[in-house]
Structure 1
Amino acid sequence: MAARVVDLRADTVTKPTEAMRAAMAAADVGDDVRDGDPTVRRFEAEMAALMGKEAALFVPSGTMANLVSVLTHCDVRGSEVILGDDSHIHLYENGGIATIGGVHPRPVRSNPDGTMDIDRIVAAIRSPDGVIYYPTTRLICLENTHVNSGGRCLSVEYTDKVGEIARSRGLKLHLDGARIFNASVALGVPVDRLVKAADSVSVCLSKGLGAPVGSVIVGSKAFIDKAKFLRKTLGGGMRQVGVLCAAAHVAVRDTVGKLADDHRRAKSLAEGLNKIEQFTVDSASVETNMVFFDIVDSRISSYKLCQILEKRNVLANPRSLKSVRVVLHYHISDSDVQYALTCFEKAVEELLMGDTESEHLADGATKNSYGY
């Protein structure tokens, strides 16, 4: 029997279910670039309808989904996009909008809840008064859920307000909705209503939903027609890709309803971590499937903690010297949560015991455990 592994590093580690694998094997396929793949067409139509938009486009990754979306809206080099300084597009997508698209990022300070202050967004819009020194603002980007805020949700009211600002200034609104279904479930708002104000939305299928590959972009038919050309330019045109969309269809059908369990387990994990004296969690910030916690004991670093956890087959991500991120997904059970909490407690005990022992080491002696 394989050793028990509780992988809390990310929801990108999810693997396709047997139902997804069966759907992949049975998928009706065609050349999606040349003639269109029938399974892809059906899936794109389903996703467009689900999100309340006219059309959809399947792409290999979330990074490509955001890049294609931004470049489609900002089709003149030197355009500018307003986005959070702590957003995924700004920090974790290789600067693609600038290096590939010639789009200038205009970062606005992100709040702890993932929002940007409305007045800061308004102030960041370049006035179209003929001043020749500035880039031209064409787009605002939001992120829901917001990964660097611990999976916090943007409310429908906030998204609507930003959409109103964009429309009133002749701008477009793109929503990085990699985990938009998590937000929909957590807020109790239908996903089409949650994204109504957005001109385009990117949705990841391979994170908590568990499909093996892919994201989808939704928007107007005219927008998607332009995006399809950019997808090809960026190398995202694929052939018999129905095998992937078949799995994605099952993921949306079967997994969205399980996201509430991920959220419940995240809250349970947060409560347990808060009971460990050396940790602190802002429980109010645990809205979806992510838990960020801080280490308040000066003797413990996140890196040492995660090293010891890994020896017990519990995997977590250090965010900084004193902060750790854990992410729940459908591979994590209630018993996995309890096992992880036990391992966290034992890891802390081991680290504190090791620190006490180090004070009594003779001159010239070395510690040989865990490399520290």
Structure 2
Amino acid sequence: MDPSITVDLYSDTITQPTTAMRQYMCYAEVGDEQLGEDPSVNRLQAMVADMLGKEAGLYLPSGTMCNQIAYAVHCQPGDEVIMDRTAHPLHFEGGGPTPLKGILVRALAGDRGVFTADQLTEALRPHSRYQPRSKAISIEQTSNLGGGRCWPLASIREVCERAHSAGLATHMDGARLLNAVVATGVAASDYASSFDSVWLDLSKGLGAPVGAVLAGSRSFIQEAWRYKQLLGGAMRQSGIMAAAGIYALEHHVERLAEDHTHAQLLAQGLAGLPGIALRPQDVETNIVLFDVAETALSGQQFVEHLKQQGVRFSLMGPSLVRAVTHLQIARDDIEYALQAVEAVLDSSQKNKGSKEILYSGFSS
């Protein structure tokens, strides 16, 4: 962590393992994971598969790799995956499934990351040698660029039923699936039941330093192993890392509710400040998206000035800013962040007349 940062709301990816998690990792049983002989990896894979109601799991270095491997298993070159236009693979995975296997993406204009079964039906390609083949759908739970919105269970079931009836495979990007579980009370297995593949991230709100687990049928995981090998993903004695995931699943799931409470406190505080636009009722989990277009600052200026105050946000657009609560954020941190935002906004208003001089060092 940058020592100049007092409150880091950049992302839940910056969480660090707790002392207890580190100690648990030190005593992990290990073996050659590539040979299926690492007991800690095997236990973690079984835990996640059981939690998600699937036959088998595969421990991987990252959620991005989970997505790419799943698409590669479900599709052939020239096939098309349908997902929301805000989906993580479209914006943050180096080109998504296209570079790895020549898989195309069709983006739907959903509502804060959630599209409908009717939108899916309209997007399906007709059977034609002139067009790509609609082959799979991908859903992100929760929706990152949708502000941590939870896909409703009824919507998931309707969309997946429509997809399966059209012969498409279904995949869940479960980067923050357990945030949705804690926020809604819906079991992870219920959310996952309609999907042919689903993965669970360990290195965000759960606080593990690395890793994710992809789950599905035994035949799916067997094929996924081929792509893991192809991508150099065999990790040998990786039980030390897998142990962090085991500890996280046993100790850090229920506490995600604290992150949601802190996000709501932040949202309510920000909504009361001049020029900041957001609806606290839209904050369902641990992500807060807000717009600073009506302040005297651009998004870049806002983020830079808050960083000078020791508070780090992430910039998601010209005036769109994101804050994500996580394991290392306490209630006092939220109060400090709100005080810092208020001070920066107050200073920017007072200096509005000399704005060009005051902010000349920052990109707009």
Shorter-chain TM-score range: over 0.9
Q: Counterpart of 1:203?
A: 200
Q: Counterpart of 1:101?
A: 101
Q: Counterpart of 1:193?
A: 190
**2 CA distance for matches of 1:160 and 1:19?**
38
Q: Counterpart of 1:335?
A: 332
Percent identity, aligned pairs only? 38
Q: Counterpart of 1:77?
A: 77
- Contact kept? 2:5, 2:307, Cα under 8 Å: no
Structural RMSD (CA): 1.7
Which is further off, 291-300 or 257-266?
Answer: 291-300
Write the deviation string for residues 99-151 of structure 1: whole angstroms up to 9, x where unpaired.
Answer: 11111212222222x211321201222233xx211122221111110001101
Write the deviation string for residues 275-310 of structure 1: whole angstroms up to 9, x where unpaired.
Answer: 111212112210000111112435221211222211
Write the deviation string for residues 125-183 of structure 1: whole angstroms up to 9, x where unpaired.
Answer: 2233xx21112222111111000110100011111111111221121100001000001
Do structure 1's residue 183 and structure 2's residue 180 form an aligned pair? Answer: yes
Do structure 1's residue 257 and structure 2's residue 254 form an aligned pair? Answer: yes
Q: Matches of residues 199-348 of structure 1 in structure 2 within 5 Å?
A: 199-297=196-294, 299-348=296-345
**2 CA distance for matches of 1:238 and 1:153?**
33
Per the TM alignment, residue 369 of structure 1 is displaced from its structure 2 partner at its CA by: 8.0
- Contact kept? 1:305, 1:351, Cα under 8 Å: no
Cα gap change, 1:293 to 1:169, in 2 (>3 Å)? same
Per the TM alignment, residue 367 of structure 1 is displaced from its structure 2 partner at its CA by: 4.7
Do structure 1's residue 143 and structure 2's residue 149 form an aligned pair? Answer: no
Per the TM alignment, residue 249 of structure 1 is displaced from its structure 2 partner at its CA by: 0.7
Cα gap change, 1:241 to 1:195, in 2 (>3 Å)? same
TM-score, normalisation: structure 2: 0.95
Q: Counterpart of 2:66?
A: 65
- Contact kept? 2:293, 2:299, Cα under 8 Å: no
Q: Secondary structure at the match of 2:83?
A: strand
- Contact kept? 1:23, 1:246, Cα under 8 Å: yes
Per the TM alignment, residue 36 of structure 1 is displaced from its structure 2 partner at its CA by: 2.5
Q: Counterpart of 1:25?
A: 26
**2 CA distance for matches of 1:203 and 1:319?**
24
- Contact kept? 1:163, 1:197, Cα under 8 Å: yes
Unaligned runs of 5+ in 2: none
- Contact kept? 2:296, 2:345, Cα under 8 Å: no
Letter in 2 for 1:252: L
Write the deviation string for residues 63-120 of structure 1: whole angstroms up to 9, x where unpaired.
Answer: 101000111111x2222211112111122111241111111212222222x2113212
- Contact kept? 1:308, 1:370, Cα under 8 Å: no
Q: Counterpart of 1:36?
A: 37
Letter in 2 for 1:225: Q
**1 CA distance for matches of 2:294 and 2:91?**
29
TM-score, normalisation: structure 1: 0.93
Cα gap change, 1:371 to 1:197, in 2 (>3 Å)? closer
Per the TM alignment, residue 248 of structure 1 is displaced from its structure 2 partner at its CA by: 0.7
Letter in 1 for 2:292: I
Q: Counterpart of 1:124?
A: 123
- Contact kept? 1:39, 1:245, Cα under 8 Å: yes
Q: Secondary structure at the match of 1:178?
A: coil
Q: Counterpart of 2:153?
A: 156
- Contact kept? 1:301, 1:322, Cα under 8 Å: yes
Letter in 2 for 1:33: Q
- Contact kept? 2:300, 2:362, Cα under 8 Å: no
Q: Counterpart of 1:362?
A: none
Q: Secondary structure at the match of 1:203?
A: strand
Q: Counterpart of 2:91?
A: 91
- Contact kept? 1:307, 1:370, Cα under 8 Å: no
Per the TM alignment, residue 355 of structure 1 is displaced from its structure 2 partner at its CA by: 2.0
Which is further off, 40-49 or 79-88?
Answer: 79-88
- Contact kept? 1:23, 1:247, Cα under 8 Å: yes
Unaligned runs of 5+ in 1: 360-365
Q: Secondary structure at the match of 1:280?
A: coil
Cα gap change, 1:358 to 1:324, in 2 (>3 Å)? closer
Which is further off, 158-167 or 238-247?
Answer: 158-167
Match of residue 350, structure 2, among 340, 350, 353: 353
Cα gap change, 1:4 to 1:125, in 2 (>3 Å)? closer
Per the TM alignment, residue 6 of structure 1 is displaced from its structure 2 partner at its CA by: 0.4
Q: Secondary structure at the match of 2:41?
A: helix
Per the TM alignment, residue 35 of structure 1 is displaced from its structure 2 partner at its CA by: 4.3
**2 CA distance for matches of 1:367 and 1:280?**
24
Letter in 1 for 2:223: K
Q: Secondary structure at the match of 2:81?
A: strand
